[in-house]
């Protein structure tokens, strides 16, 4: 099964050169949006892709660069396209996404009272595989990001790791490669400094060569070009480009 991946953006939370780190995953005619940050509506607009062409959105965690575009997406779907988009989300995030993020902007008495009034909500249990289509299987893997904040990386089609924002977890990466057949990793990356809530380039560079060859960097800062040529076997993902896996 060959999937295609196209990043709407590859930027870190406050990057200005790149859009937010959100992705489109294509399985033939099906399109899954992975995260929908503040810049996602603008990025989609520039790609000439209306919200209506997206089949579902999946959320990794609640930070504005991952969910800040959901209000525009949901309002546009409701008032322009008269339908709800499917929302794949860890069950632990359902209430907080509504109560702490969307309700303030979206609440309308008798019209929009809960998340399910604007999304077709599909709560996911972590560590369980779900077939989204015949050719797209996803599993949420809880990964550490901010203390007390639930955050979920994604294991796709039993061989692709797509990291949420996360601190370095070499044990998980080794486990996926050694026991679960992982051969591609899209990994968020903080290019310099101490990775308090993210994984640093230095940490990823400490992995064995065979794993570095699998890694594509995303969620990077504006000065990415300074690091091109200094990442050994590790590749930078580029926003807008279509990759097949």
Ligand X SMILES: O=c1ccn([C@@H]2O[C@@H]3COP(=O)(O)O[C@H]3[C@H]2O)c(=O)[nH]1
The one of Zn ion, ligand X, none whose footprint includes residue 190, by CB under 5 to 8 A per kind, is none
The one of ligand X, Zn ion, none whose footprint includes residue 78, by CB under 5 to 8 A per kind, is none
Shortest distance (Å) from residue 222 CB to ligand X: 13
Nearest to Zn ion of 78, 145 (CB atom): 145
Shortest distance (Å) from residue 122 CB to ligand X: 24
Contact assessment for residue 13 and residue 122, using Cβ atoms and an 8 Å cutoff:
no
Q: What is the contact surface with Zn ion in residues (CB under 5 A)?
A: 13, 63, 65, 165
Nearest to ligand X of 133, 144 (CB atom): 144
Burial class (CB in 10 A: 0-12, 13-18, 19+), 103: middle
Nearest to ligand X of 10, 12 (CB atom): 12
Nearest to Zn ion of 78, 187 (CB atom): 187
Query: Helices H, strands E: what count in the chain?
Result: 8, 14
Shortest distance (Å) from residue 164 CB to Zn ion: 7
Nearest to ligand X of 63, 187 (CB atom): 63
Contact assessment for residue 48 and residue 41, using Cβ atoms and an 8 Å cutoff:
no
User: What is the C-alpha end-to-end distance of the chain, expressed in Å?
Assistant: 8
Q: What is the contact surface with ligand X in residues (CB under 6 A)?
A: 12-13, 63, 65, 146, 165, 196-197
How far, CA to CA in Å, does 231 sit from each of 52, 130, 177, 209, 225? 38, 34, 20, 11, 11
The number of angstroms, rounded, from the C-alpha of 241 to the middle of its chain's C-alpha atoms is 16
If residue 122 lies in a helix (H) or strand (E), which one and from where to where?
strand 119-124
Angle, CA of 94, 164 and 22, to the nearest 5°: 85
The one of ligand X, Zn ion, none whose footprint includes residue 196, by CB under 5 to 8 A per kind, is ligand X
Shortest distance (Å) from residue 137 CB to ligand X: 26
How far, CA to CA in Å, does 65 sit from each of 9, 90, 227? 10, 18, 23
Shortest distance (Å) from residue 194 CB to ligand X: 10
Contact assessment for residue 176 and residue 154, using Cβ atoms and an 8 Å cutoff:
no
The one of Zn ion, ligand X, none whose footprint includes residue 71, by CB under 5 to 8 A per kind, is none
Shortest distance (Å) from residue 190 CB to ligand X: 8
Nearest to ligand X of 35, 139 (CB atom): 35
């Amino acid at each position: 099964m060959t999937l295609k991946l196209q990043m709407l953006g590859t930027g870190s939370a406050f990057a200005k050169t790149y859009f937010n780190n959100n992705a489109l995953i294509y399985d033939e005619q099906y399109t899954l949006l992975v995260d929908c940050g503040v810049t996602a509506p603008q990025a989609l607009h520039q790609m000439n892709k209306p919200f209506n062409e997206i089949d579902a959105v999946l959320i990794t965690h609640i930070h504005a660069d991952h969910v800040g575009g959901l209000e525009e997406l949901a309002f546009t779907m409701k008032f322009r396209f008269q339908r709800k988009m499917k929302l794949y989300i860890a069950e632990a995030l359902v209430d907080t996404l509504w109560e702490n993020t969307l309700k303030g902007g979206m609440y309308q008495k008798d019209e929009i009272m809960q998340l399910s009034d604007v999304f077709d909500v599909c709560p996911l249990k972590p560590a369980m595989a779900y077939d989204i289509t015949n050719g797209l299987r996803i599993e949420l893997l809880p990964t550490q990001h901010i203390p007390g904040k639930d955050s979920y990386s994604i294991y796709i089609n039993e061989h692709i790791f797509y990291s949420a924002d996360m601190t370095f977890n070499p044990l998980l990466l080794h486990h996926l490669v050694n026991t679960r057949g992982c051969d591609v990793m899209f990994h968020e990356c903080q290019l310099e400094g101490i990775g308090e809530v993210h994984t640093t380039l230095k940490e990823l560079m400490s992995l064995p060569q065979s794993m570095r060859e699998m890694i594509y960097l995303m969620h990077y800062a504006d000065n990415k070009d300074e690091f091109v040529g200094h990442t050994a076997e590790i590749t930078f993902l580029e926003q807008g480009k279509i990759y097949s896996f």
